Amino acid sequence: MISGRKPQQRPDSRVQLLPGGLPGPYLLPDDQHHVFRSAHGSRLVTTESVEFIDHVGGAGALILGHGHPAVVEAAQRQLGRAMHLFGVHNEPALELAERLVDTVPCAERIAYATTGSEATAYAMRMARAATGRDLVLKFEGGYHGNHDYALVSTFPSARSDFPHGHPDTGGQPAATRSTILVAPFNDLATVEQIFSDHSGRIAGIIVECVQRIIPADETFLGGLRELCDRSGAVLIFDEVVTGFRLGPTSAQGHYGVHPDLATFGKIIGAGGPLSCVAGRADLLDHADPRRRGGSDHVYLNGTLHGNPVAAAATLAMLDELADPNVYELLDATTGRLCVGAQAALDRHGVPAIAVHVGSLWQILFTDGPPRSYADIAAGDSLAMRRLDAELLRQGHFVLPGVRRFVSTAHTDADIDATIKAIDRACARFVEHREPTQRSRSSET
Ligand code: PMP
């Protein structure tokens, strides 16, 4: 039975061993602090046997849902052969490199890492080493991971004073932050102005083609491509989310704009410790260890780089995704979910919109489809979190304020159940309506 609530739940006191008693940065309602025991397909089960339909999908890594048999079998087979190898090639990682070069338009070489954050840090380092320039431009509201070069104006509470960004974390050296320039997403004119103000000093641009839930305008990515070509800067697409999520050739194939470097994680990794930078051979070759000692050599190294179990699981996942209908089906399923969600919102007079890009979706309290972080920040994020909390209480696992993912494990019945749950959540939302104030958007 699906039920996000169970009376007499005893809080597990061990959670206090973690900062704030939380597993990560996301604030959950006090009555929704669960410990999960297992996950299968579209379902999560807590240690108290409460079942949820999962909409988080391992932050998007699990496009086939939890525990897909082919993925589990591939991982188990590889576990029996070698769980971890260091400093040597392994068969699944080489096979995956070949697969990536065959499918990802920009990929001539692959450099493995462990997390999406690590991949974006390496890509930025490659851009700097290759150009001999220090500055990297990112977009307000764009998330590129947990390192100091990424956590600039990702979820600022005040509007950025472009091109200067706000720190998203304490402990970030101001000198590091000063190497990151920030521009509004989907605003090519401002990017051009920043390039002209910093002529010959910008190493590269890093961008999410779908920034959280905001798709890039048709011409925006092409404009960035031209600007980088004109100025000798490196164009980096952060495809940690969009890679193999937007389609078989990822966002770059979907948009028909090819970057110099692209970062992959999540689906590349299949829920295991694996990510990579893919791109132009001459850029990746800065990491050739024979160039060590040179000022343009890029140091790449990590204990878990190219992990064979994660690579084997990823290959199995990509095999399943090779079916040409998969993405169309995911898109249609997510579209149906959003049409149903919108009808529920409208029926209850909840001033929100259900938006989706492929299999990414979210309910936003914005005036219309957002084009930039400023549009999201102008929305009512407290109301968004309150509705999401109600959805949690209906047995649907979402992180309040965070975009969610449809997987191939979501059945038609799951989607119907989600729409009904949104309807019930809307009813409770309206019943308990309290004056909300427009407030800072959540980090996503
Ligand atoms: N880039 C993007 C676009 C992401 O969404 C994320 C993770 N949410 C990252 C980078 C960082 O990946 P990881 O959490 O694996 O370090």
The answer to whether 122 is a known catalytic residue is no
Catalytic residue among 266, 375, 380, 414: 266
Pocket probe for ligand 1: among 56, 118, 120, 307, the residue whose CB has the most ligand atoms within 8 Å is 120
The rounded Å distance from CA 117 to ligand 1 centre is: 6
**299 belongs to the catalytic site:** no
- How far does the centroid of ligand 1 lie from the alpha carbon of residue 443, in Å? 12
Residue pLDDT, tens place only, 366-404? 999 999 999 999 999 999 999 999 999 999 999 999 999
Mean pLDDT across the chain, nearest whole number? Answer: 95
Burial category of 349 from C-beta neighbours within 10 Å (exposed 0-12, middle 13-18, buried 19 and up): exposed
Q: Annotated catalytic, 229?
A: no
**Tally: H helices and E strands in the chain:** 13, 16
Centroid of ligand 1 to alpha carbon of 206 (angstroms):
13
142 close to ligand 1 (CB < 6 Angstrom): no
Q: Given a cut of 70, is residue 11 above it in pLDDT?
A: yes
State yes or no: pLDDT of 7 exceeds 80: no
- Answer whether 238 contacts ligand 1 (Cβ < 6 A): yes
Residue 228 has phi, psi (to 5 degrees) of -65, -40
pLDDT band at 435 (very low <50, low <70, confident <90, very high): low
Ligand 1 neighbourhood includes 117 CB (under 6 angstroms)? yes
Q: Which atom of ligand 1 is nearest to 266's Cα?
A: 15
Do 263 and 119 touch, CB atoms closer than 8 A? yes
Question: Tens of pLDDT along 162-207?
Answer: 999 999 999 999 999 999 999 999 999 999 999 999 999 999 999 9
Q: What is the mean pLDDT of residues 277-293?
A: 98
The greatest distance separating any two alpha carbons of the chain, rounded to the nearest whole angstrom, comes to 66
Q: Which of 210, 232, 233 has the alpha carbon at shortest distance from 221?
A: 210
Whether the predicted pLDDT of 437 surpasses 60:
no
Percent of the chain with pLDDT over 70: 95
- Indicate the top mutation candidate among 144, 206, 239, 405 to test ligand 1's pocket, ranked by most ligand atoms within 8 A of CB: 144
Check residue 440 and give its pLDDT: 42
240 lines ligand 1 (CB under 6 A): yes
The model's pLDDT over 289-347, given as tens digits with 9 standing for 90+, comes to 999 999 999 999 999 999 999 999 999 999 999 997 999 999 999 999 999 999 999 99
Whole-number Å distance between alpha carbons of 179 and 164:
9
The answer, yes or no, to whether residue 75 has pLDDT greater than 60, is yes
Neighbours of 46 (CB within 10 A): 18
- The residue among 133, 110, 104 whose CA lies nearest residue 122 is 110
pLDDT at residue 358 greater than cutoff 50: yes
- pTM of this structure: 0.96
* Spatial contact of 406 and 337, defined as CB atoms under 8 Å apart: yes
Q: How far is the CA of 144 from the centre of ligand 1 (A)?
A: 6
Among 421, 335, 363, 412, residue whose Cα is nearest residue 42: 412
Q: List pLDDT tens digits, range 123-168.
A: 999 999 999 999 999 999 999 999 999 999 999 998 889 999 999 9
* Residues, the chain: 444
Whose C-alpha lies nearest to ligand 1, atom 5?
Answer: 241
Structure tokens at 403: 């975009």
Q: Are strands 109-113 and 202-207 parallel, antiparallel or unpaired?
A: unpaired
pLDDT at 439: 43
Write out the DSSP string of 230-259: HHTPEEEEE-TTTTTTS-TTHHHHHHT---
Residue 145, ligand 1, Cβ within 6 A: yes
Task: Give start and end residues of each alpha helix (H) in 140-265.
Answer: 174-177, 188-197, 218-231, 250-255
Residue 279: what are its φ and ψ, rounded to 5°? Answer: 165, -160
- 418 C-beta closer than 6 A to ligand 1: no
The helix (H) or strand (E) run that includes residue 70 is helix 69-81
Which residues share a beta bridge with 277? 111, 263
